[in-house]
Every structure is written in C-alpha cells, then in structure tokens.
Amino acid sequence: MRYYFAVVECDSPATALHIYEQCDGQEFEASSNTLDLRFIPDDQTFTAKPRDVAVEVPEDYETQHFTSSALQSSRVELTWDEPDRVRAKKLRWEVNEDMRDDDFKQYLASSSGESDASDSEGEGEGDDGSD
C-alpha cells in the first residue's frame, strides 16, 4: 500500500479550520481510504518535487474510482453453510445402545418403492401397500 500526501494552502486560518473540521477522518468515496488532515507549519520544507499542482478544479474533472481491498477484507464466518454437527455426529457413530434406527430416519432418503403415505400410516418396513 502506498501513502501520498497533499498540501492545501488556505487564505485564512478560519478556512483551514473549516476544511479540517469537515474533512478530517472522512472516507474518500467508497475507497475505504480516509483523509488524515494535519497542520503543516509555515517553515516546513519538502525535498521532493511536487508530482501534481492544482490551483482550481477543471470543469471536466472526474475522480478515479478505486478501492483498497486490503482495507475492506474481513474474516466473517458464514454459519449458514457450516455442516450440521448433530447430523455429522450421528453418521459417525460407533455401535451404541443409545442409538436407534429412528435416529437415522431423518437423514436417510426412502427407497423409490416406498411412499410417504405408507410411512405416515406406520406400515411395516419393505411393505409398499400392494397385495
């Protein structure tokens, strides 16, 4: 990430204070970059030559749209796509007296020969109701 600075020369301390109060800490568009305004004393000298100089804003000026993805990333954990821990535990079971076949029925699909109606009526296993 690169850091740049700009120097604004104001006509009065009141103008400088107003700019500071309105702009310090503000985000530049949707870039995640915030303005960090500081006072520069009059006797401050800069060794580097200015890259750009502006006295007024051109009428056709358009800002560059950019984002700083490093400042926008976060580690949000999405719980909606996590595996069902109860299901995983039941499917990794060891032979246990506490576990019954009924515990697994909600996770197993019925065979193509079984109908939902026969399950709800409590008919025997493998009985498809046809005689």
pLDDT digits (tens, 9 = 90+) for 6-61: 899 999 999 999 999 998 988 877 777 788 889 999 899 989 888 888 888 888 87
Quote the domain boundaries for residue 73: 13-110
Examine residue 116 and state whether it is found in any structural domain, yes or no.
no
3-state secondary structure of 37: coil
Token pair recorded at residue 39: 């006072």
CA torsion angle 1 70 7 55 (round to 10): 110
- Tell me the C-alpha distance between 44 and 83, whole Å: 60
Examine residue 124 and state whether it is found in any structural domain, yes or no.
no
**Tens digits of residue pLDDT in 64-81:** 766 665 555 566 555 666
- Tell me the C-alpha distance between 78 and 80, whole Å: 6
Examine residue 115 and state whether it is found in any structural domain, yes or no.
no
Total domains in the chain come to 1
Sorted by sequence, the CB contacts under 8 Å of residue 99 that are 6+ apart come out as 90, 93
